[in-house]
């Protein structure tokens, strides 16, 4: 990309040396810079890996291409045996790739939870919701009648059936509040 600039810089640097021998360097053209073959291979591989992106999809594509090539191979009985063996190996690779891909989707789907406050799906390892910023752990209250632990949004205790409008806790500092309070008396947080 910068061959012209490199040529000019090299000419400026080399011209004094040529002048010492009574020569003048009029033009210097650099057309190509070659790297050692090993370096080129490593750079090509790294570039290819970056372009590929999803290796599972690439593996599936390569397996499909290999199966197609094996099916087109018509080199007699010996070739058929090799084709069957290669096809079985390729089939195993493709099945493993697909299995790995479906497992990763299952893990990704299973690793999200619903925020109890705004109901947005967030990663399960988060402690706070990305959307509303509130804690992901469902706030727990205790039933006034039986003492069972219940969600703060529950209206009736699932254990004893007691109406749950008697005890309320702040969603920020967990201070006890009166049932009709809209703001926490301890921290001032709006609790709706």
pLDDT of residue 41: 84
Mean pLDDT by 10 residues, the chain (192 residues): 88 93 90 84 75 68 74 59 60 64 47 79 80 72 77 77 72 77 84 65
pLDDT of residue 3: 85
H helix and E strand count, the chain: 4, 6
The answer to pTM > 0.85 is no
Cα(91)–Cα(169) distance, integer angstroms: 58
Count CB neighbours of 170 within 10 A. 21
Q: Residue 164 has which token pair?
A: 């749950």
Q: Residue 173 has which token pair?
A: 């500092």
pLDDT of residue 156: 79
Q: What is the pLDDT of residues 77-107, one digit of tens each?
A: 555 555 566 666 666 666 665 665 544 444 4
Which ranges in the chain belong to alpha helices (H)?
3-20, 37-52, 55-72, 76-110
pLDDT of residue 13: 93
Domain-wise residue ranges, the chain: 1-31
Q: Is 29 exposed, middle or buried (0-12, 13-18, 19+ CB in 10 A)?
A: exposed
Q: Which residues pair with 123 in a beta bridge?
A: 112
pLDDT of residue 106: 46
Q: Residue 177 has which token pair?
A: 């509040």
């Amino acid at each position: 990309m910068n061959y012209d600039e490199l040529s000019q810089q090299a000419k400026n640097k080399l011209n004094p040396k040529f002048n010492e021998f009574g020569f003048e360097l009029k033009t210097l053209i650099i057309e190509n810079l070659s790297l050692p073959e090993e370096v080129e291979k490593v750079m090509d591989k790294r570039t290819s890996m970056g372009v590929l992106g999803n290796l599972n999809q690439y593996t599936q594509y390569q397996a499909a291409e290999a199966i197609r090539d094996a099916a087109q191979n018509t080199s007699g009985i010996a070739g058929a045996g090799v084709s069957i063996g290669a096809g079985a190996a390729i089939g195993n690779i493709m099945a493993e790739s697909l299995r790995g891909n479906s497992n990763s989707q299952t893990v990704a789907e299973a690793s999200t939870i619903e925020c109890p406050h705004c109901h947005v799906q967030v990663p399960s390892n988060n402690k706070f919701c990305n959307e509303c910023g509130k804690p992901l752990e469902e706030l727990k209250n205790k039933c006034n009648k039986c003492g069972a632990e219940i969600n703060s949004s529950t209206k009736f205790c699932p254990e004893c059936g007691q109406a749950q409008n008697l005890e309320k806790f702040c969603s920020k500092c967990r201070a006890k509040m009166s049932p009709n309070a809209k703001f926490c008396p301890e921290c001032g947080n709006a609790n709706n």
